[in-house]
Amino acid sequence: MIESVHIEDLGVIQEADLAFGPGLTALTGETGAGKTLVLTSLGLLLGQRSESTVVRPGASRALVEGTFVLTPGGRAADRAVQAGAELDGDLLIASRTVPAQGRSRAHLGGRSVPSAVLAEVGSGLVSVHGQADQLRLRSSAAQRAALDQLGGAEHARRCRDYATAFRAWREAAAALARWQEGAASRAAEAERLRAWLEELEQLDPRPGEDVALEAEAARLDHAEDLRRAVSRARGALSADEASQTVLEPDVVALAAGAERALDTAAGLDPALGDLAAQVRQIGILAADAASELGDYLASLDADPVRLSWVQDRRSALRGACQRIGGPQELEDVDALLAWGRQASARLDHLDGPQDAGSRLRADLTGARQELEQAAADLTGARQELAKQLEAAVTAELEGLQMRGARLVVELTPLAEPGPTGAETVALLLAAHPGAPALPLGKGASGGELSRIMLALEVVLAQSETDPQEAGRSGPAHGRTFVFDEVDAGVGGRAALEVGRRLARLARSHQVVVVTHLAQVAAWASTQLVVLKEVDAARDGAPTTSTRVVPVTGQDRVRELARMLSGHEDSEAALRHAAELLAEAGVAESLT
pLDDT tens digits along 486-528: 777 777 888 888 888 889 888 888 999 999 899 999 999 999 9
Helices (H), ranges, 352-445: 354-399, 440-443
- Report the pLDDT value the prediction gives residue 26, as an integer from 0 to 100: 93
- Report the pLDDT value the prediction gives residue 413, as an integer from 0 to 100: 96
Q: Using the 8-state DSSP alphabet, how is residue 21 labeled?
A: -
The pair phi, psi for residue 247, each rounded to 5°, is -75, -20
Q: Among the ranges 276-280, 292-296, 380-384, which has the highest mean pLDDT value?
A: 380-384
Average pLDDT, the chain: 85
Q: What is the pLDDT of residues 2-12, one digit of tens each?
A: 999 999 999 88
- Report the pLDDT value the prediction gives residue 539, as an integer from 0 to 100: 60
- Report the pLDDT value the prediction gives residue 227, as an integer from 0 to 100: 74
Give me the mean pLDDT over the 166-190 stretch.
89
The Cα–Cα gap between 118 and 65 comes to 12
User: pLDDT > 90: what percent of the chain?
Assistant: 35
Model confidence at 473, pLDDT cuts 50, 70, 90, reads very low
Cβ-contact 59, 9 below 8 angstroms: yes
- Report the pLDDT value the prediction gives residue 537, as an integer from 0 to 100: 57
Q: Among the ranges 136-150, 378-392, 459-473, 526-540, which has the highest mean pLDDT value?
A: 378-392
Is this structure's pTM higher than 0.75? no
Q: Is the pLDDT of residue 155 over 70?
A: yes
Q: Is the pLDDT of residue 429 over 80?
A: yes
Q: Among 391, 432, 395, which residue's Cα sits nearest to residue 409?
A: 391
Q: What is the pLDDT of residues 257-282, one digit of tens each?
A: 888 888 888 888 888 888 888 989 99
Q: What is the pLDDT of residues 525-540, one digit of tens each?
A: 999 999 888 776 556 5
The Cα–Cα gap between 70 and 2 comes to 9
The Cα–Cα gap between 127 and 76 comes to 13
The Cα–Cα gap between 73 and 65 comes to 23
Q: Is the pLDDT of residue 221 over 80?
A: no
Give me the mean pLDDT over the 579-590 stretch.
71
Domain borders along the chain are: 209-331
Q: Using the 8-state DSSP alphabet, how is residue 55 labeled?
A: B
- Report the pLDDT value the prediction gives residue 522, as an integer from 0 to 100: 93
The Cα–Cα gap between 191 and 197 comes to 10
Indicate the burial class of 30 (C-beta count within 10 angstroms; 0-12, 13-18, 19 or more). middle
- Report the pLDDT value the prediction gives residue 160, as an integer from 0 to 100: 96
Sequence length of the chain is 591
The Cα–Cα gap between 442 and 439 comes to 5
Q: Is the pLDDT of residue 157 over 90?
A: yes
Cβ-contact 590, 579 below 8 angstroms: no
Q: Who has greater pLDDT, 334 or 71?
A: 334
The pair phi, psi for residue 479, each rounded to 5°, is -70, 155
Residue 406, beta-bridge partner list: 430
Q: Is the pLDDT of residue 245 over 50?
A: no
The pair phi, psi for residue 506, each rounded to 5°, is -75, -10
- Report the pLDDT value the prediction gives residue 328, as an integer from 0 to 100: 79
Give me the mean pLDDT over the 443-471 stretch.
68
- Report the pLDDT value the prediction gives residue 456, as an integer from 0 to 100: 85
User: pLDDT > 70: what percent of the chain?
Assistant: 91
The Cα–Cα gap between 143 and 440 comes to 10
